[in-house]
Structure 1
Amino acid sequence: MNFGNDNKTALQAKFDAQKIAFGPIMFQAARSLQKMGILEIIKKQRNKGILISEIAKQLDIAVYGVKVLLEAGLSMEIVRVEENRYFLTKTGFFLLSDPLTQVNMNFVHDVNYEGFFDLDKSIENGKPEGLKVFGEWATVYEGLSQLPDQVQKSWFEFDHYYSDTAFPEVLPIVFANKPKKLLDVGGNTGKWSIQCGKYDEDVQVTILDLPGQLEKAYVNIESNNLSDRVRGIPLNLLDHSVPFPKGFDIVWMSQFLDCFSQKDILELLQRAKNAIVEDGSVYILETYWDKQKYEASTYSLHATSLYFTCLANGCSQMYHSEDMLAIIDNAGLYVDEEIHDIGVSHSLYKCKIKA
């Protein structure tokens, strides 16, 4: 399959090159228009528009500041102007009101922005060099529970937004055969495990994750009165010498394998295969950039890959589906069932042990 094209005129291409060159500056301008309340004020005057001086007066800031931000907004097509009165465009509306856009912008600003100065070093060294703006950890997962509150908030909102939309769709699929024991690998704050416990009152769920993540999960499990059926086992998932506990009907991996290199994914899947009973299943819920219906989704996933490069671990990405299928095959598994277009952008692979 081919991706991309080169059908622009030279003039269009040069203009797009300037958008890239000034992209970081314009991002901050867009965020300021949103954060300072300028877009909200304009939205309220959707029928008649509003003058710069009127916005400045409402916010009690200088006309100059509002003016330079709105002029940048014109080039970004966030706003339009008629007779000196400003109106919100469709793009401006989504920037202001779309939850997906809000989550992505906060993730970019709070988690990524400063660290991305060292993207080139991350590529050269194979390490998340941008992570040092927050602390001296080998991966973001080791330091996640110690990140500043706002950074944690934006990280978890980004992570949960995508998974939360998928979970209601996949629960009936996963529980179709009434599994009794489920292993949630990389269960993070316990969202999936808790939903499983609520969905089926007979299931026993075990979460595998780092101690810092499990501490948050335990709080959530307790608050949902599921401590008798949902438990955790602290584990460094990258220590491949330690096997997963055995005897599970299902091993569940949601937005998890994209956090690792292909070499580590192979090891993780082999450990998952050894954890299930003979007729058990390994479920993989992931977003693959080649399986997206919309250009915006593919664009977002390619950008998210660079977050993994620069801040998360320096070696993983949002994968092409063929990469994952090859690793699944090498792990001694095969895809028994696959479902695409789940939630915002997910695909579900139900994997079985090869004969």
Structure 2
Amino acid sequence: MIQLPQQDELSAIEAKSMAQHIAFSPYIFQATVAMKELGILQFIDKYRRKGVLLSDIVKAVGVSEYGVSVLLDFALTCGLVTVVADEEDDQKNLARYSLTKVAFFLLHDEMSVVNFEFTQHFGYQGLAKLTESIKTGKPEGLKVFGNWETLYPHLAELPDQIRESWFSFDHFYSDHAFDEILPIIFESKPKHIVDIGGNTGRFTTKCLQYNGEVHMTIMDLPPQLAKASQNIAVLGLAERFHQFPCDMLDPKQVLAEKADIYWMSQFLDCFSEPQIKIILSNIANGITSKQKVFILETFWDAQQFDAAAFSLNATSLYFTCFANGNSRMYAADKFMALVEASGLAIEKRIDNIGLGHSLLICSKVT
């Protein structure tokens, strides 16, 4: 179980200091963006052991000494850079700058890079509408991109860099889980798997490549099916791929038939609780006692690390402000109660898959 922050352990000074970090957090973020875009952090990173002089940084990045120094002074106080001691430089009143571990991870840790660029390119501007989204239950931040009611039907219309950052964020977490989970899925030797909400076909592609006999069907909106079909065709896997256009929020939506497994990965967290009940009830009503339902999700309270729970709850605010205004990353108990209330029985739960995913293996209640 994750350890939530214990405020009684903070002194008044520590708590007040944290309050200032929150108050100026947009400045911390934008200063980090500037130092990355100008190449300041990357240049310092080359000299991580002995550090580098301000004059050398100024020359390397082509920005005024004022511009570089004002960023570095702030970076010193928010823990991104540090000064390396050097006796000879001290005598000349010179400072050599080196990266902290925090800045190192912002540059080199894939998760940190993906999360940072997702916020920078996709989320930052629209988050100013979070209060309005909370009040209306609508994704008001989405208006910075277009006059759209929800995000997913319009992913292809996002500007290139913004779309790339969104998909990098989406795929990073699922990709780490897929490779680990494929042996579990194919243990029962399924011949046909239906990928509900398959989006661009990432999971379907993995299955087609993993097993040369399985047939895969994606149930999704037409724009997502078109992109998935294109991606799968490029890889020469179209012969065993099938499309099933659908709207899973339609209470009368039928399922693609004759599947051994109905699969959903990071799909249900895109919906509100009433909508999840509709989707799962459709599935429960449409399957037989011999068919299985596999649900892969990230439960914020089932994480091994505090930072993971923090990131998932931040992602909930992305759903609030951008996706549809009413979905979130769920706590495990609340989510499992929705599954069981829909007419499905949870046969098995497997936690700590990939980067904090949980797998629920379900069957029809008989």
TM band (smaller chain): over 0.9
Matched residue count: 355
Question: What is the aligned partner in structure 1 of residue 165 from structure 2?
Answer: 154
Q: Distance between the aligned counterparts of 2:284 and 2:122, measured in 1?
A: 34
SS at match of 1:109: helix
Question: What is the aligned partner in structure 2 of residue 346 from structure 1?
Answer: 357
Q: Distance between the aligned counterparts of 1:239 and 1:146, measured in 2?
A: 25
**1:345 offset after TM fit, Å?**
1.2
Question: What is the aligned partner in structure 2 of residue 104 from structure 1?
Answer: 115
The aligned amino acid for 1:171 is L
In structure 2, which of residues 35, 51, 75 is the aligned counterpart of residue 73 of structure 1? Answer: 75
Question: What is the aligned partner in structure 1 of residue 291 from structure 2?
Answer: 280
Question: What is the aligned partner in structure 2 of residue 195 from structure 1?
Answer: 206
Moved more, 323-332 or 228-237: 228-237
1:50 aligns with 2:31: no
Question: What is the aligned partner in structure 2 of residue 144 from structure 1?
Answer: 155
Moved more, 127-136 or 241-250: 241-250
Question: What is the aligned partner in structure 2 of residue 27 from structure 1?
Answer: 29
Q: Distance between the aligned counterparts of 1:13 and 1:202, measured in 2?
A: 59
Moved more, 35-44 or 313-322: 35-44
**1:289 offset after TM fit, Å?**
0.6
Question: What is the aligned partner in structure 2 of residue 6 from structure 1?
Answer: 7
**1:237 offset after TM fit, Å?**
2.5
Once the two structures are superposed, residues 174-227 of structure 1 have per-residue CA deviations (whole angstroms, 9 ceiling, x without a partner) of 111111111101101101001111112221111011122112111111011111
The aligned amino acid for 2:281 is Q
- Alpha-carbon contact 1:289-1:298 (below 8 Å) kept: yes
**1:241 offset after TM fit, Å?**
2.6
**1:244 offset after TM fit, Å?**
2.1
Moved more, 265-274 or 329-338: 265-274
TM-score, normalising length: structure 2 = 0.94
> Once the two structures are aligned, what percentage of the paired residues are identical?
46
Q: Distance between the aligned counterparts of 1:236 and 1:134, measured in 2?
A: 24
The aligned amino acid for 1:131 is L
1:307 aligns with 2:309: no
**1:240 offset after TM fit, Å?**
2.7
1:129 aligns with 2:140: yes
**1:235 offset after TM fit, Å?**
2.0
SS at match of 1:338: strand
- Alpha-carbon contact 1:266-1:327 (below 8 Å) kept: yes
Q: Distance between the aligned counterparts of 2:273 and 2:263, measured in 1?
A: 18
Q: Distance between the aligned counterparts of 1:113 and 1:166, measured in 2?
A: 27
Q: Distance between the aligned counterparts of 1:32 and 1:240, measured in 2?
A: 48
- Alpha-carbon contact 1:184-1:251 (below 8 Å) kept: yes
**1:275 offset after TM fit, Å?**
3.7
**1:3 offset after TM fit, Å?**
4.0
Q: Distance between the aligned counterparts of 1:240 and 1:309, measured in 2?
A: 23
1:330 aligns with 2:341: yes
1:290 aligns with 2:301: yes
**1:51 offset after TM fit, Å?**
1.3
SS at match of 1:248: coil
SS at match of 1:179: coil
The aligned amino acid for 2:231 is N
Q: Distance between the aligned counterparts of 2:232 and 2:345, measured in 1?
A: 33
1:40 aligns with 2:51: no
Q: Distance between the aligned counterparts of 1:320 and 1:28, measured in 2?
A: 31
- Alpha-carbon contact 2:252-2:282 (below 8 Å) kept: no
Once the two structures are superposed, residues 29-79 of structure 1 have per-residue CA deviations (whole angstroms, 9 ceiling, x without a partner) of 112222221111111112221111210101111111111111121122111
The aligned amino acid for 2:37 is K
- Alpha-carbon contact 2:153-2:224 (below 8 Å) kept: no
Question: What is the aligned partner in structure 2 of residue 86 from structure 1?
Answer: 97
- Alpha-carbon contact 1:245-1:275 (below 8 Å) kept: no
Root mean square deviation, CA, Å: 1.3
Question: What is the aligned partner in structure 1 of residue 250 from structure 2?
Answer: 239
SS at match of 1:137: coil
**1:91 offset after TM fit, Å?**
0.8
TM-score, normalising length: structure 1 = 0.97
